[in-house]
C-alpha cells in the first residue's frame, strides 16, 4: 500500500517537473495526451492547424543526479527520527520519482572520507538497488567529520542533469563560481531542520548528545542562550538562502513531517512557480 501511495502521489501532475526548460531546443512534434501543455509551440500550432509541442534535448536524455551529503550533524534528532532518517527517505522518494518518469537517476553519496558514485540508470531494479545501498550505509564517524559539504560539487555529472542536493546547511556562503554552475545544472537544495534547531528545547536545562562533537553537552534555557540561538539561526538561514535565493529551488523538511507529503507539496509549488 505504501508503494502504491507513493506512485499515486508522485505521478501525473509532476511528470516533467524536474526537467529543464528551454536549455536546448531540438524539434517540434504533434501534441499527444499526457504531454506538458507548457511545451506547446503556439506559432506552429496556428500555422498548421494542429497542436504541436517543442521537444528539448533534456526530454530525451533527462537525468536526475541525487547528491546525498552525509555528515555527523544529520544524526541529530530531538524526537523519534533523526535528520538523516528523514533525508534518506526523501532521497529514496526522489529516486523513485525519476524511475516513474522514465528518467535516468544517478547517486553521489558524499561522505567525510570520500564520495561514492553510482552511475546513471533508468531501470527500476538498478535504481532501487542503489537506494538500498544508500539506506544500508552507516552514518559517518564524528571523529572523521569535516565542515559541512559544499553543494558546489565537482563530480562528473551528465550534461543537462537536474541536481537534487540533500544535506546539512553549508558552513560558508556560495563561491563566485556557483552562479555559473547553476546555469549549467539546475540545483535543488534539500535540508532537514529539527524542532530544537528552529525553536530550541522547551523543557528547560537538560543534557543532549552532540553528534558533531561526539559527546554529551548540557543545554541551558535562559535569555542569553535564547539570544545566541536566534542569532545562530538567522545566520544559518541567511547562508541557506544565499545558496538558493529562489524559494522554488529549496526545500526544508522536519523529522516530524511526512516526507512524501512534503515532497508532493514542494513539487506542486515548484510547478506553479515555473509555470508563471
List CB contacts of 134: < 8 A, sequence separation 6 or more.
68, 88, 91, 92, 107, 109
> Which among 185, 147, 183, 182 has a CA at the least distance from the CA of 167?
147
> Which residues, listed in sequence order, are joined to residue 130 by a DSSP beta bridge?
none
Backbone angles phi, psi at 195, to 5 degrees: -60, -35
Q: Are 161 and 64 in contact (CB under 8 A)?
A: yes
**Distances 221 to 25, 84, 228, 231, 254 between C-alpha atoms, Å:** 57, 26, 11, 15, 22
What are the b/e assignments for 161-181, b being 16+ CB within 10 Å? bbbbbbbbbbeeebeeebeeb
Can you tell me whether residue 231 is helix, strand or coil? Answer: helix
Residues 82 and 112: their CA atoms lie apart, in Å, by 19
Q: What is the CATH number of domain 62-274?
A: 3.40.50
First to last CA, the chain: 35
CB atoms under 10 Å from CB of 92, counted, come to 20
pLDDT of residue 21: 46
Q: In this structure, what DSSP letter does residue 212 have?
A: T
List CB contacts of 48: < 8 A, sequence separation 6 or more.
none
Domain ranges within the chain, ordered by starting residue: 2-58, 62-274
How does pLDDT run along the chain (276 residues), one tens digit per residue? 455 556 665 555 444 445 544 355 567 888 887 677 778 888 888 888 889 888 765 544 558 999 999 999 899 888 899 999 999 999 999 999 888 887 889 999 999 888 899 999 989 999 999 999 999 999 988 776 666 678 988 777 877 788 999 999 999 999 999 988 888 888 999 999 999 888 877 766 677 777 766 778 777 778 888 898 899 999 999 999 999 999 999 999 999 999 999 999 998 888 777 666
In 3-state terms the chain splits into helix, strand, coil percentages (rounded to 5) of 40, 20, 35
Amino acid at each position: 500500500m505504501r508503494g502504491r501511495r507513493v506512485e499515486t502521489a508522485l505521478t501525473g501532475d509532476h511528470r516533467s517537473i524536474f526537467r529543464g526548460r528551454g536549455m536546448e531546443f531540438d524539434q517540434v512534434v504533434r501534441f499527444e495526451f499526457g504531454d506538458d501543455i507548457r511545451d506547446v509551440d503556439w506559432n506552429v500550432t496556428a500555422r498548421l492547424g494542429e497542436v504541436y509541442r517543442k521537444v528539448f534535448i533534456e526530454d530525451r536524455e533527462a537525468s536526475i543526479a541525487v547528491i546525498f551529503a552525509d555528515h555527523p550533524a544529520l544524526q541529530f534528532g530531538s524526537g523519534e527520527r533523526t535528520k538523516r532518517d528523514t533525508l534518506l527517505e526523501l532521497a529514496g522518494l526522489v529516486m523513485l520519482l525519476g524511475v516513474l518518469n522514465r528518467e535516468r537517476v544517478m547517486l553521489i553519496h558524499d561522505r567525510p572520507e570520500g564520495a561514492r558514485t553510482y552511475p546513471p540508470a533508468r531501470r527500476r531494479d538498478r535504481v532501487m538497488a542503489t537506494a538500498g545501498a544508500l539506506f544500508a550505509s552507516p552514518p559517518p564517524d564524528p571523529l572523521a567529520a569535516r565542515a559541512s559539504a559544499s553543494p558546489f560539487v565537482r563530480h562528473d555529472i551528465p550534461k543537462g542533469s537536474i541536481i537534487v542536493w540533500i544535506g546539512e546547511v553549508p558552513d560558508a556562503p556560495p563561491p563566485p563560481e556557483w552562479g555559473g554552475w547553476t546555469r549549467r545544472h539546475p540545483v535543488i537544495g534539500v535540508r532537514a531542520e529539527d524542532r530544537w534547531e528552529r525553536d530550541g528545547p522547551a523543557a528547560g536545562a537538560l543534557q543532549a548528545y552532540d553528534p558533531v562533537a561526539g559527546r554529551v553537552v548540557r543545554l541551558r534555557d535562559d535569555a542569553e542562550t535564547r539570544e545566541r540561538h536566534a542569532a545562530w539561526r538567522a545566520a544559518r538561514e541567511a547562508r541557506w538562502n544565499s545558496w538558493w535565493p529562489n524559494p522554488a529551488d529549496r526545500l526544508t523538511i522536519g523529522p516530524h513531517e511526512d516526507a512524501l507529503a512534503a515532497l508532493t507539496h514542494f513539487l506542486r509549488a515548484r510547478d506553479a512557480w515555473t509555470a508563471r
